[in-house]
């Protein structure tokens, strides 16, 4: 399908959907501590989304049973929240959430430290976020889509990380997943030319080991093949004639010292 260019009215709705989703992430971040369950996080996330006037876009999507994807340690994405999955000191946890507000989707992910974590884990969280911002240097009208991919992948691989290849970012709008597909590693082609009004979900998924992954028997949870740590950082962005507008991040970067 062709990549959709959003009207000013559609952009306003996406901007508001993402502003509300940012509130959800900010509130969930306050919960992250040893002793809480991943199901606790999911319940609070769904409550917040609905309280803010949205609908959880992940709930029942292709059969997914929860509103928030909660992925711990070697789980890359799509972890299913459970009452008996308890966060422990030293874990890292990725929260991926989406909201539908007045028919328009928002999508964002953050990885958090649980208590005091190892230096290796802290660097992974910081560097995965930094991968996203390296990609943003090319996320503007006139550049090509795969310049974003190359910037993300080159930065991560230059630091010795694995870059997951089986999962990608995507376009977003009236549907959660629209064209184009956005890999996180260098491509042989240039991809489409970026145009003002495109809305994209860019989401580096980075590991401390191999880029290879496997799916668990629940058919959702994706883990690293070598059980290395994984981090996930995602924002919905708007392509403009200048710097991209990061719709799901209005308060600035959490790790401005990264790089």
How far apart, in whole angstroms, are the C-alpha atoms of residue 175 and residue 196? 19
CATH number at residue 79: 3.90.230.10
Q: Give the pLDDT score at 118.
A: 98
Residues with Cβ within 8 Å of 19's Cβ and at least 6 positions away in sequence, in order, are 247, 250
Q: Please state the pTM of the whole predicted model.
A: 0.96
Is residue 252 situated within a structural domain?
Answer: no
Is residue 190 situated within a structural domain?
Answer: yes
Domain with 143 in it: 8-246
Is residue 257 situated within a structural domain?
Answer: no
Is residue 183 situated within a structural domain?
Answer: yes
How far apart, in whole angstroms, are the C-alpha atoms of residue 192 and residue 182? 10
Is residue 1 situated within a structural domain?
Answer: no
Is residue 254 situated within a structural domain?
Answer: no
Is residue 32 situated within a structural domain?
Answer: yes
Number of other CB atoms surrounding residue 147 within 10 Å: 19
Q: Helix or strand or coil: residue 109?
A: strand
Is residue 255 situated within a structural domain?
Answer: no
Tens-level pLDDT at each residue, the chain (259 residues): 789 999 999 999 999 999 999 999 999 999 999 999 999 999 999 999 999 999 999 999 999 999 999 999 999 999 999 999 999 999 999 999 999 999 999 999 999 999 999 999 999 999 999 999 999 999 999 999 999 999 999 999 999 999 999 999 999 999 999 999 999 999 999 999 999 999 999 999 999 999 999 999 999 999 999 999 999 999 999 999 999 999 999 977 655 443 3
């Amino acid at each position: 399908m062709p990549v959709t260019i959003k009207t000013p009215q559609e952009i306003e709705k996406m901007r508001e959907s993402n502003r509300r989703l940012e509130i959800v992430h900010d509130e969930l971040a306050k919960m992250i501590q040893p002793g809480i369950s991943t199901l606790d996080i999911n319940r609070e996330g769904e409550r917040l989304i609905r309280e803010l006037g949205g609908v959880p876009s992940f709930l029942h999507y292709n059969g997914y049973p929860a509103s928030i994807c909660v992925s711990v340690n070697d789980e890359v994405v799509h972890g299913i929240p459970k009452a008996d999955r308890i966060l422990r000191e030293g874990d890292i946890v990725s929260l991926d959430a989406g909201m539908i507000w007045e028919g328009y989707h928002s999508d964002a992910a953050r990885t958090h430290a649980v208590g005091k974590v190892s230096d290796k884990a802290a660097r992974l969280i910081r560097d995965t976020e930094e991968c996203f911002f390296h990609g943003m240097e090319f996320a503007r009208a006139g550049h090509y889509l795969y310049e974003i991919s190359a910037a993300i992948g080159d930065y991560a691989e230059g630091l010795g990380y694995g870059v997951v290849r089986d999962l990608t970012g995507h376009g977003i709008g009236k549907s959660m997943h629209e064209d184009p597909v956005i890999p996180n590693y260098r491509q042989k082609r240039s991809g489409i030319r970026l145009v003002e009004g495109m809305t994209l979900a860019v989401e580096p998924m980075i590991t401390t080991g191999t880029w290879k992954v496997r799916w668990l028997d629940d058919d959702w949870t994706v883990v690293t093949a070598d059980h290395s740590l994984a981090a996930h950082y995602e924002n919905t962005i708007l392509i403009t004639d200048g710097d991209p507008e990061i719709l799901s991040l209005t308060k600035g970067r959490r790790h401005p010292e990264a790089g």
